[in-house]
Copies of this chain bind each other. A is one copy, B any other.
Amino acid sequence: MGALTTQPADSIAAWDEEEIIRRVVQNLSDAAPAFPEGPGGDCAHLPNTETAGWRISTVDSVILGRHFDAACSGYLAGIKLVNRNLSDLAAAGATPSDGLLSLVMGGEISQAWLLDFAHGVGRAAKAAGLKVVGGDVAQGPAQSFMATLAVQGFAQRVLTRRQAQSGDVVFVTGQLGGSRYGHHLTFTPRLAEGAWLGSQSEVTACTDISDGFSKDLTNLMGPQLNLVLDERMLPVSEAAMALSKADGIPALEHALQDGEDYELLWTAHPSRADWIASQFRLKFPQTTLTCLGTLQVGTGQIISQATGKTLGKKGFKHFG
């Protein structure tokens, strides 16, 4: 069952706006609280009782043909929408609270696919404690589907990019590269790891890897630090190796450049880096943790220890 249908009776064009909203909300299931906290009015009304020091706010979209293809199940596309937002909250060390779901789509979208999408959104949201409190539906260009989720989370202390200093040690979770082989749809956002990292004062900066390791590390370091990297240390995924066999591009290149790893890239104060790493491994034995080296004063470059050359910063570009 694909996203698009040629049968008008099976398409969302057979429904009016109320019908679409009613059925989407139904399929969000218990991730959508009751009115007035949840869908049903022009606004959601949330009791403002959270005492954490920071509200963390972020938004991300999935677009048919860009973040998933027409053969992708609605369920996985919906899960991806939620989890790519949750990955941003994870990198900030935040606990998910609530989200707004906005759908813009053409009349050719399949009813069944849309409900499967809502089901996926509801499942992934529920699994992470995210409430889908409202949203919006509008008609877009023919054969298009765009879903945007704006989420709010809370944190006592927040992790950001750009707090790392010279001497800090760089860590990355999981494996890198080849996400397009499936990981981009099936990954689990590192919420527990991010919340724990946020609670450790020795952790100095954190980001998730969405645009590619090189680009996200460059953003994390900012323009006044370098990382001299022993490329052999990079945790290259099996998918990156399989992709390398298929396209002839070195697996290491895939690990450096591919987007959508949704792993956490973070730094720790040097005096406590070993301790933090051992605590992390005790706390999250299922999550691979790799130490990649030490930041030094520089100009925002990743430099190969083997060749002395700057490693590419291409990453994923959306336009141009």
Contact pattern, A 165-203, Cβ under 8 Å of B = 1, otherwise 0: 000000000000000000000000000000000000000
Which residues of A from 63 to 111 have beta carbons under 8 Å from B?
63, 65-67, 88-89, 91-92, 94, 98, 100-102, 104, 107
A161 nearest CB neighbor, chain B only: B41
Asked whether A43 lies within 8 Å of B88 as measured between CB atoms, the reply is yes
Given A43-B57, A53-B48, CB of A100 within 8 Å of CB of B317: no
CB contacts (< 8 Å) of A101 on chain B: these are 59
Binds B, one of A14-22, A240-248, A249-257, A283-291: A14-22
Given A150-B100, A319-B20, CB of A44 within 8 Å of CB of B61: no
Binds B, one of A118-126, A133-141, A230-238: A133-141
Given A102-B61, A104-B63, CB of A319 within 8 Å of CB of B13: yes
Provide the bound-state CA to CA distance between A56 and B53, in Å. Answer: 19
CB distance from A205 to the nearest CB of B (A): 10
Provide the bound-state CA to CA distance between A21 and B113, in Å. Answer: 32
Asked whether A59 lies within 8 Å of B100 as measured between CB atoms, the reply is yes
Which residues of A from 147 to 171 have beta carbons under 8 Å from B?
148, 150, 152-154, 158, 160-162
CB contacts (< 8 Å) of A17 on chain B: these are 317-319
Provide the bound-state CA to CA distance between A91 and B46, in Å. Answer: 15
A309 at the binding interface (Cβ < 8 Å): no
A47 nearest CB neighbor, chain B only: B54
Provide the bound-state CA to CA distance between A203 and B152, in Å. Answer: 30
Provide the bound-state CA to CA distance between A207 and B59, in Å. Answer: 26
CB contacts (< 8 Å) of A144 on chain B: these are 140-141, 144
Asked whether B148 lies within 8 Å of A320 as measured between CB atoms, the reply is no
CB contacts (< 8 Å) of A56 on chain B: these are 43-46
CB distance from A33 to the nearest CB of B (A): 12
A208 at the binding interface (Cβ < 8 Å): yes
CB distance from A32 to the nearest CB of B (A): 13
A100 nearest CB neighbor, chain B only: B59
CB distance from A63 to the nearest CB of B (A): 6
CB distance from A122 to the nearest CB of B (A): 17
CB contacts (< 8 Å) of A47 on chain B: these are 53-55
A112 at the binding interface (Cβ < 8 Å): no
Asked whether B92 lies within 8 Å of A43 as measured between CB atoms, the reply is yes
CB contacts (< 8 Å) of A54 on chain B: these are 45-48
A10 at the binding interface (Cβ < 8 Å): no
Indicate the member of A41, A44, A101, A134 with the most B CB atoms within 10 Å: A41
A214 at the binding interface (Cβ < 8 Å): no
Indicate the member of A53, A67, A102 with the most B CB atoms within 10 Å: A102
Provide the bound-state CA to CA distance between A63 and B148, in Å. Answer: 14
Asked whether B100 lies within 8 Å of A154 as measured between CB atoms, the reply is no
Provide the bound-state CA to CA distance between A278 and B199, in Å. Answer: 54
The 4 A-B pairs of least Cβ separation, nearest first, read: A150-B150, A59-B100, A43-B58, A17-B318
